[in-house]
């Protein structure tokens, strides 16, 4: 005897067996009970949610020898013929291949004849949105005033493509995507009936892969059983379907937190070498960051995340390591990657995205940024230690250790000249550096406006920041800022000089208090205080 796939073997045979569509079942059951059967129905919804099955069950309920009933007997000839798709009174038409006006004309001729044995003649048109405009127009009159013994049931995944004139003549039922717990429960019931050992985690993985389709999950179960037998574990499901273990994405999270781009890219290449599909990986990574964000928003639940409870707890723990804004930025990067891999090399595009994720600076709120700048201090989320240049902090040397002469350069003519290395000459030369710096890069010049040149020797210039100006010092220490300052100083003072940044903890400078506001008007602040504008220009980041 030929094997019957699980999706057909366990197809619902009455309305009570239809899972996840309670609103449809209730309405149709009441219509049958109270004899309020419409002449045309439209079943719309995603694939595998029970549209065609419900149409067959409705036809069976109407044509059962027991009479119109919610619970057909499934034993009479009419029920058996409808179940086996050989009934003369239930005509199924594929709208994708029978979409011409001639096909609809043939249908119109057929509705004139009475049913072969049942009470109703039921026309089920699947993918009805594929009919041509002329075919829809040819159907309108018959659809509006069909014979009393004819019922039309249309099924579609694209209801928006159906003309309004057709929609207005039908009772519409929207089939929803079946919730994950419902699919998990159903697939475990079927596995038990088939004497298949199916672990809970494997059932969740299969159900997630089905994306709300009960038919798809049974097809996947058939595939896994054919590959690995009747003892189904999560590892077997992952191997059969080429999926990535959920735990791997938590490993990616750790690499991103540590800003270890090398480890993240190496792990990705290992996954690809093992046969994982890149597009599936990107889709799962997108879902991973979505779950992290929901957990951060305290929305983590087994139903919301559609994962086992054990993983809900993992997401709750992992989400605490991120800021909400950072998770939104990471999710945006992965979503952009999903669109990019359709038009570019998927592997290279994914590697670049992983590099961006690993190098992404943590965000800082603008009010916190302004407060740190005004009061002095550090912001732990602005820059990672790995991204800051290695600056050696030194103590100011005594005047007796300073050299007697130093060489400086004329700014206008670019010629080198020697001057006596006294305090007046050094400060004058440093003012030349600051003057040129303010013209070429005003933002950096702003950070140095309260900095003093306190000491120098033949190779080093020491810039002293007040003890409460640690934050400004960190901004100057940024690689691009320090490199630019070093280059400018060497142009004026000579190529042998290097900049050293010092912090005088015993010295402080006055700081203005920033009024506490829930939502500062950034544009108004930028216009009012040029210093704020300089900060934003220096960061070259996005304001969140």
CATH number at residue 319: 1.20.272.10
Round to whole Å and give the CA distance between 61 and 58.
Answer: 5
Can you tell me the mean pLDDT for 139-146? 87
Pair (148, 190) in one structural domain: no
Pair (60, 169) in one structural domain: yes
Pair (207, 142) in one structural domain: no
Which of 128, 145, 174 is where one domain is finished? 174
CATH number of the domain bearing residue 229: 1.10.8.60
User: Is 126 domain-assigned?
Assistant: yes
Task: Tell which wins on pLDDT, 68 or 495.
Answer: 68
Range of the domain at 66: 6-174
* pLDDT over 60 (residue 403): no
Pair (231, 202) in one structural domain: yes
Least confident among 68-72, 414-418, 500-504: 414-418
Pair (103, 189) in one structural domain: no
Round to whole Å and give the CA distance between 194 and 221.
Answer: 11
* pLDDT over 80 (residue 93): yes
Pair (125, 42) in one structural domain: yes
Q: Output the pLDDT for position 432.
A: 80
Q: Are 63 and 96 in contact (CB under 8 A)?
A: no
Instruction: Give the count of domains, the chain.
Output: 4
Q: Output the pLDDT for position 228.
A: 87
Q: Output the pLDDT for position 514.
A: 45
Percentage of the chain exceeding pLDDT 70: 78
* pLDDT over 60 (residue 404): no
Q: Output the pLDDT for position 426.
A: 61
The pLDDT confidence band at residue 113, using thresholds 50, 70 and 90, is confident
CATH number of the domain bearing residue 160: 3.40.50.300
Can you tell me the mean pLDDT for 362-369? 62
Can you tell me the mean pLDDT for 99-110? 88
Pair (155, 256) in one structural domain: no
Task: Tell which wins on pLDDT, 152 or 468.
Answer: 152
The pLDDT confidence band at residue 56, using thresholds 50, 70 and 90, is very high
Pair (408, 482) in one structural domain: yes
Task: Find all residues with CB under 8 Å of 340, minimum gap 6, and list them.
Answer: 349, 353
Q: Output the pLDDT for position 452.
A: 73
The pLDDT confidence band at residue 190, using thresholds 50, 70 and 90, is very high
Instruction: Please give the model's pTM, rounded to 2 decimal places.
Output: 0.63
Pair (168, 185) in one structural domain: no
The pLDDT confidence band at residue 29, using thresholds 50, 70 and 90, is very high
> φ, ψ for residue 536 (rounded to 5)?
-65, -40
* pLDDT over 70 (residue 541): no
The pLDDT confidence band at residue 544, using thresholds 50, 70 and 90, is low
User: Is 101 domain-assigned?
Assistant: yes
Which of 130, 151, 174 is where one domain is finished? 174
User: Is 394 domain-assigned?
Assistant: no
> φ, ψ for residue 350 (rounded to 5)?
-70, -40
User: Is 36 domain-assigned?
Assistant: yes
User: Is 486 domain-assigned?
Assistant: yes
**Crossing angle for the helix pair 200-210 and 180-193, to the nearest 10 degrees:** 120
Q: Residue 493 burial by CB count (10 A; 0-12/13-18/19+): exposed, middle or buried?
A: buried
CA distances from 27 to 22, 30, 74, 83 (A): 9, 5, 21, 22
Pair type for strands 150-156 and 40-44:
parallel
Can you tell me the mean pLDDT for 355-366? 77
pLDDT tens for 251-278 read 999 999 999 999 999 999 999 998 888 9
Pair (423, 447) in one structural domain: yes
User: Is 389 domain-assigned?
Assistant: no
pLDDT tens for 205-241 read 999 888 888 999 999 999 999 998 889 999 999 888 8
* pLDDT over 90 (residue 480): no
Task: Tell which wins on pLDDT, 425 or 406.
Answer: 425
């Amino acid at each position: 005897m030929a094997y019957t796939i699980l999706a057909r073997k366990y197809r619902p045979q009455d309305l009570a067996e239809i899972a996840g569509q309670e609103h449809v079942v209730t309405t149709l059951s009441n219509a049958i009970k109270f004899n309020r059967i419409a002449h045309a129905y439209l079943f719309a919804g995603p694939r595998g949610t029970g549209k065609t099955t419900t149409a067959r069950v409705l036809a069976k309920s109407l044509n059962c020898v027991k009479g119109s009933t919610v619970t057909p007997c499934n034993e009479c000839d009419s029920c058996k013929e409808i179940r086996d798709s050989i009934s003369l009174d239930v005509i199924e038409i594929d709208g994708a291949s029978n979409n011409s006006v001639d096909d609809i004309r043939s249908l119109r001729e057929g509705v004139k004849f009475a049913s072969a044995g049942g009470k109703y003649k039921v026309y089920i048109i699947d993918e009805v949105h594929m009919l041509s405009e002329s075919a829809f127009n040819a159907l309108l009159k018959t659809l509006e005033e069909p014979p009393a013994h004819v019922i039309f049931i249309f099924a579609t995944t694209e209801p928006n493509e159906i003309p309004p004139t057709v929609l207005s003549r039908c009772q519409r039922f929207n089939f929803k995507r079946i919730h994950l717990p419902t699919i998990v429960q159903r697939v475990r019931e079927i596995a038990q009936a088939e004497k298949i050992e199916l672990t809970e985690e494997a059932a969740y993985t299969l159900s997630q892969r089905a994306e709300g389709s009960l038919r798809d999950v049974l097809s996947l179960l058939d595939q896994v059983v054919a590959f690995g037998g009747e003892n189904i574990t999560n590892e077997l499901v992952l191997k059969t379907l080429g999926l990535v273990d959920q735990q791997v994405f938590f490993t990616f999270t750790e690499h991103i937190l540590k800003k270890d781009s090398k480890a993240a890219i190496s792990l990705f290449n290992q996954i690809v070498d093992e046969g994982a599909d890149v597009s599936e990986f990107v889709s799962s990574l997108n879902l991973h960051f979505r779950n992290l964000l929901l957990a951060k928003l305290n929305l983590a639940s087994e139903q919301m995340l559609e994962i086992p409870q054990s993983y809900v707890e993992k997401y709750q723990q992992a989400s605490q390591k991120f800021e909400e804004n950072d998770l939104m930025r990471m999710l945006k990067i992965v979503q952009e990657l999903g669109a990019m891999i359709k038009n570019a090399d998927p592997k290279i595009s994914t590697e670049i995205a992983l590099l961006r994720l690993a190098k992404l600076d943590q965000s800082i709120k603008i009010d916190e940024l302004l407060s740190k700048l005004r009061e002095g201090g550090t912001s732990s989320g602005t820059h990672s230690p790995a991204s800051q240049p290695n600056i050696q902090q030194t103590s100011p040397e005594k005047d007796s250790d300073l050299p007697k002469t130093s060489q400086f350069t004329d700014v206008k003519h670019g010629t080198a000249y020697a001057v006596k290395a006294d305090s007046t000459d050094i400060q004058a030369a440093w003012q030349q550096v600051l003057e040129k710096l303010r013209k070429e890069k005003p933002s950096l010049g702003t950070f140095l406006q309260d900095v003093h040149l306190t000491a120098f020797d033949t190779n080093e210039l020491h810039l002293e920041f007040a003890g409460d100006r640690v934050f400004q010092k960190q901004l100057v220490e940024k690689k691009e800022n320090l490199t630019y300052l070093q280059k400018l100083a060497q142009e004026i003072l000579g190529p042998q000089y290097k900049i050293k940044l010092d912090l005088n903890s015993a010295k402080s400078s006055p700081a203005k208090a920033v009024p506490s506001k829930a939502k500062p008007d950034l544009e108004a602040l930028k216009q009012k205080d040029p210093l704020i504008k300089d900060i934003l220009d220096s960061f070259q980041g996005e304001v969140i």
